[in-house]
Chain A
Amino acid sequence: MAKVVAEAEELPKAIVKRMLKEKLSQLSSDGDFSIHSEALLAFSESARVFIHYLSATANDICKESKRQTITADDVLNALEEIEFSELIEPLKASLDEFRKKNAEKKAGSANTKQVNKKRKAGQEAVTENEGDEGNKVNEKEDNADDNED
């Protein structure tokens, strides 16, 4: 199937709609509201353009510092630059949470890796008895894995 890629990627409509509904139900005094379909599109488009605007600014900041990779700090500085400083504090809080969770995950996964290796070794021992050649290859790979540590 020939694929023509010319359209810009869009944010998922359902998610944008959900965000709008949640907010509007707070804002409207009696919970009565509706969203015109064109309005929904306008929100998605605006958000998409916002992403472009913010990433272009962050990219410029990144390049000014002679770096190649856009970092979280670049993004935060970009927000300042485009006068969306109000977002900086909430975003920093989000970032801290994310980093914390990431650190926890890493500590946790180190343990799971050990458990998985043992399990794998156990499985290999069982299937090898069937005399399948393929298993020999697997065994080699398993040994190779052990060297990764």
Chain B
Amino acid sequence: MENNQQQGSQSSTFPAQPPFHHLVQQQQQLQMFWNYQRHEIEQVNDFKNHQLPLARIKKIMKADEDVRMISAEAPILFAKACELFILELTIRSWLHAEENKRRTLQKNDIAAAITRTEIFDFLVDIVPRDEIKDEAAGLGMVGGMVGSAAATASGVPYYYAPMGQPAPPGIMIGRPAMDPAAAGMYAQPPSQAWQSVWQTADEASFGGATGGADDGQGSLDGQS
């Protein structure tokens, strides 16, 4: 019989655990979530009580001028997809809040969830990370979103690693809009993603910060 002690031990010994266990944990929880959802749908499907109003969904869809005609079934799917999406975002955000020993879900929890989840890349500009002080502090690798230098579409980053910060353990970094594969992955050497980030940083003339970060990144010499 599987020992689910991981659940209990997570909050107390968290900082000591390597990030991989945390991921496995998340994966398991997500799997449980999806099993639950499937089960729930098979049980109860009351279409009178659509949670999200179909008319509103349709309006949102049509705000995109490219979208013309929508079959009657489409908004139904959208309503459900939206609901499931919100639930998944909730789970991931809550995990982050728990990591920080909070019971209040905050905006930066959502931002963290977005950063950590590759398929949520499309949201990276919607919920910017601007309150990561508590994460950078003691958590080291996991959740160590040091310097979310997420680039906007124009390539200019809108958040920067605080000056004097030593080179991050090298994992969580926002990435330029062009390179979705590099970001959101734990234990990935910064390499290319960092380079392009620092390059665009240069364009935005964040000279001082660049100098500070170079201390730990020998390979960035000559970037300017």
Whether B83 sits at the interface, judged by CB under 8 Å, is yes
Q: Is the CB of A82 within 8 A of B119?
A: yes
**Could you say which residues of chain B place their CB within 8 Å of the CB of A15?**
51-53
Cα A91 to Cα B84 with chains together (Å): 9
CB pair A35 B52 closer than 8 Å: no
Q: How far is the CB of A82 from chain B (nearest CB, A)?
A: 7
* Chain B proximity of A123: nearest CB distance (Å): 29
Please encode chain A, from 64 to 85, with 1 for each CB lying within 8 Å of some chain B CB and 0 for all others.
0000111110111001001110
B59 to chain A: closest residue by CB: A9
Query: Once the chains bind, are B77 and A72 in contact (CB under 8 Å)?
Result: yes
Contacts of B52 in A (CB 8 A): 11-12, 15
Residues 87-110 of B, flagged 1 when their CB comes within 8 A of A and 0 if not, give: 101110110000000011111011
Q: Which residue of B lies closest to A52 (CB)?
A: B64
Size of the chain A interface, CB-CB below 8 angstroms: 61
Name the contact of A42 in the complex, choosing from B82, B85, B91, B127 (C-beta under 8 A).
Answer: B127
The listed residue (A23, A32, A58) touching B87 by CB distance below 8 A is A23
Of A43-51, A109-117, A124-132, A139-147, the one contacting chain B is A43-51
Contact B83 A19 (CB under 8 A): yes
CB contacts (< 8 Å) of A91 on chain B: these are: 77, 80-81, 84
**Contact between B126 and A90, CB atoms less than 8 A apart:** no
Say which residue of B67, B76, B86, B89 sits within 8 Å of A94 (CB atoms).
B76
Cβ of B105: which chain A residues have Cβ within 8 Å of it? 20, 24, 33-36, 39
A28 B86 Cβ-Cβ under 8 A: no
Whether A24 and B94, one on each chain, are in contact in the complex, defined by CB atoms closer than 8 angstroms, is yes
Rounded to whole Å, the gap between the CB of A142 and the closest CB of chain B is 29
Question: Please, how many angstroms separate the alpha-carbon atoms of A52 and B78 in the complex?
Answer: 10
Q: Are B107 and A55 in contact (CB under 8 A)?
A: no
Q: Is A103 an interface residue (CB 8 A)?
A: no
- A68 and B69 alpha carbons, distance in the complex (Å): 6
A87 touches B81 (CB 8 A): yes
Q: Is B63 positioned at the interface, with any CB of A under 8 Å from its CB?
A: yes
Q: How far is the CA of A90 from the CA of B76 in the complex (A)?
A: 12
Question: In the complex, A9→B93 CA distance in Å?
Answer: 24
- Pick 25 A–B contacts, CB within 8 A, sort by A: A11-B57, A18-B51, A23-B91, A24-B105, A27-B91, A27-B94, A33-B105, A34-B103, A34-B104, A36-B104, A42-B127, A46-B89, A48-B60, A50-B81, A51-B60, A51-B82, A52-B63, A55-B64, A55-B78, A56-B67, A58-B74, A71-B74, A83-B119, A90-B37, A91-B80
Known: A39-B105, A49-B122. 18 other contacts (CB 8 A): A11-B56, A11-B82, A18-B51, A43-B110, A46-B85, A46-B110, A50-B123, A51-B78, A52-B63, A53-B122, A56-B64, A59-B64, A68-B69, A70-B69, A74-B74, A82-B119, A87-B85, A95-B76
Q: What 10 A-B pairs are tightest by C-beta distance, nearest first?
A: A97-B45, A69-B69, A72-B73, A38-B107, A55-B61, A9-B59, A75-B77, A42-B110, A83-B119, A34-B104
Binding site for A on B (CB under 8 A): 34, 37-38, 41-42, 45, 47, 51-53, 56-57, 59-61, 63-64, 66-71, 73-74, 76-78, 80-87, 89-91, 93-94, 103-107, 109-111, 114, 118-119, 122-123, 126-127
